[in-house]
Structure 1
């Protein structure tokens, strides 16, 4: 195999190491690309700089495929910013609150809201959190529980959807890796086929209703729920909520909005997208990546126009402010575009250095290809946990995972799914992740309390997923995820049941008290207001 030997590992090691050290993906990828080119051109820094800009960065940015991805990302950024500013998501969530009379309904409503606001992963906690925190206080459910549900409905939902920024970003990385390896396959079809192997995301999303309806709280989460249920106290004595009651967590609209402001533009988006794709033979025939991006760009444009008209009609904002919001949304995508261009460039550098060939040569005969997806999952999870970024992990791991899977005869789709699952798992567990921090902020929870209560669920799901990737490495069956879901339900229910049994009769009595409270919580005169004072008894470790 053609490769430059062990020095071909320097760029990916630099990218990972610098990401962990500085938690800045752009700088880390930039340095890795520069050093890789420096090795390729023979150590001349001037030639390296010239080659980096002309042969890699500019070449990647001006490639017709890549340029289409960049334009689409800008369209998506502008639309998402308008949706968040419109207040439609908050109006839609508020319209359902009159039906919330139990703890289970409150928690399930947040889960449904997270699915409805799939288009904005980071907007989910900032839109839903301030609305549902008061409801959770009223029905005596913990802020930690709210933060966990919000966190579970952010990146785990977004990574499953091909026509928002997450999917476009991932498909861009896959397409570039396919081109470098000479693989002729649709990145859209590949992404769709990988969805069953995004097992961590699927298990995390499904685990929320499992915990709600099977009353499967365990670990620190159970203690937090009992704290609120028994004492009415929102926080532990040493807790520090991420924000005060009057802190603004997102840009507020100037005037009340309506639910139609969100559901009608989304309807226009879907109708336009699938209407155009239908004329191309979808879903019966394969749609080219360029055609898919063109259809999606058109759909986002029409949806944005619809949204602007609605915001003006309902006087949510003036035209100048609306245009400014749209432009700011596009500007927010610049960092994503920079990461993507650098990731494409790093992929080209690694291909030229033969990094994947060197890894394959080292592993061949020593590690069976069927184990590769499990190893990829562990590597991606560790990197994402240490860096706090799933996108940065995608950028480094996908260009490596695809050629390694090819070289070692590992199942390709399973290996890509392992990268995505590992990155989301590590990000979900990491206390320095943007999504973890925003979930705490949106719920008004103490950040460390959120991490502690979420971690047992995340590690349980992660352990099950690791086993599933070992199985999928041998079978390559998309139905493996069904076994994973069954094991997750069984694990959560058994762990919760063991916890209740360990607590004894007193714990069971408290659970029954909580169930009775559910049915009468809203009507009870004393439940409308819960003291803000921290509880002085029953500490976290009790």
Structure 2
């Protein structure tokens, strides 16, 4: 929090020519404007409601029931590796929204990791490595809606004369970073490969303050999670006036969390799993526990606004020489998009900056347009995956009880391996295109 706030202060000083009064006024105005944005308030509320729901599911004993079922009745989870594989599979199949992906994969995997003494940093790495990459590859979600909208805008401006959906689908085949990240993660799990800071990651015993319930039926965990997944689709459909791709992601996840919280009230209290008093106290404690996460998210949004005002992304893009070789265009777009997303913590913001830049560059140089769009998407996903100020990174750490700095440090070496593989592929396809 101190680091993020320090970055906001320094950015404000730069924007205001180091005038103290103007800078303080700018910082005040920044937070007022952030807290006036409906989608930001919904995202912050989402983070707090997540705390309540996770605490209630844990208190209900449903997680212990699920662990018991998977271990003794199916025998599918017998080790730390199979526990991580389970979270990996969940991360692959829940592609509706990156934050929901991290949240559910973390909630399901966490009790097994406690059982088999797997470091929470390793689980956080698995949750984060499936969230943004999968959401950007299976585009029946808000990610697809944004990307399709950005490409369609270029067509409406007369820059392109192609079918937007066909171009998007072709560019997904060049989303090399997302593919590499998924492969690297699976290999790291299967062969138990610890590199860099992950070698020093330790298992932390679970906090028994809230998790004091005995094992009950696993449906106390499964039903809220299934409802959560289905509700996101439902609210995307509602907010999009019948079109899921046009639905509001922030509104959908907020309404989903609220709906799920109300469901747990009727389900847990109605089945006498807990009293109304216990439900209220548990929900309150869970929300209180995640207030710092909401504050980190607010500061992350703040520094994103500051870097936008400083035109960080446009500055990095302007560094590309006009004499750049056609063969290396996609690789350079990938590098720039990676730097922007890493420094701003937003993949969607990076897409919004880089796709309108990448398409005209590709056209003017007669390059492979889909390859260049794929490079912009890959670079955006990289930063969303491993930037410490990305909401997905923060929520992956939150969902697995892992320290944010530890999570960032432990997953970065794996992300860089995936980045290196993607870079080589962009150079190769740039040469043969």
- TM-score, normalised via structure 2 length: 0.64
Aligned to 1:132: 116
CA RMSD of aligned residues (A): 5.0
- Residue in structure 2 matching 1:301, options 254, 258, 263: 258
Contact 1:277–1:295 (CA under 8 A) maintained in structure 2: yes
Structure 2 counterparts to residues 297-336 of structure 1, below 5 A: 297-312=254-269, 313=271, 315=273, 318-328=278-288, 331-336=291-296
Shift of residue 96 of structure 1? Answer: 0.8
| Cα distance between partner residues in 2 of 1:103 and 1:323 | 29
Aligned to 2:345: 394
Aligned to 1:155: 128
Counterpart check, 1:260 vs 2:219: yes
Contact 2:80–2:112 (CA under 8 A) maintained in structure 1: no
Counterpart check, 1:275 vs 2:234: yes
- 1:273-296: CA deviations, max 9, x gaps? 32344456788664243xx44343
Shift of residue 458 of structure 1? Answer: 5.9
Shift of residue 346 of structure 1? Answer: 1.0
- Residue in structure 1 matching 2:202, options 238, 242, 250: 242
Shift of residue 466 of structure 1? Answer: 2.5
| Cα distance between partner residues in 2 of 1:284 and 1:435 | 29
- TM-score, normalised via structure 1 length: 0.53
Contact 1:125–1:151 (CA under 8 A) maintained in structure 2: no
- 1:314-338: CA deviations, max 9, x gaps? 5357133223134325524422432
Structure 1 portions without partners, runs of 5+: 1-22, 134-142, 222-238, 384-391, 428-432, 477-542
Contact 1:197–1:414 (CA under 8 A) maintained in structure 2: yes
Structure 2 counterparts to residues 363-374 of structure 1, below 5 A: 363-367=320-324, 369-374=329-334
- The structure-2 alpha-carbon separation of the partners of 1:299 and 1:468, relative to structure 1 and needing over 3 Å to count, comes to same
Aligned to 1:415: 376
- The structure-2 alpha-carbon separation of the partners of 1:29 and 1:127, relative to structure 1 and needing over 3 Å to count, comes to farther
Aligned to 1:341: 301
Counterpart check, 1:33 vs 2:33: no
Q: What SS does the corresponding residue of 2:213 show, helix, strand or coil?
A: coil
Contact 1:83–1:89 (CA under 8 A) maintained in structure 2: yes
Structure 2 portions without partners, runs of 5+: 91-100, 158-164, 363-371, 389-393
**Aligned length, in residue pairs:** 373
- The structure-2 alpha-carbon separation of the partners of 1:375 and 1:305, relative to structure 1 and needing over 3 Å to count, comes to same
- Residue in structure 2 matching 1:48, options 12, 23, 30: 23
- The structure-2 alpha-carbon separation of the partners of 1:182 and 1:37, relative to structure 1 and needing over 3 Å to count, comes to farther
| Cα distance between partner residues in 2 of 1:90 and 1:48 | 51
- The structure-2 alpha-carbon separation of the partners of 1:108 and 1:241, relative to structure 1 and needing over 3 Å to count, comes to closer
Counterpart check, 1:424 vs 2:375: no
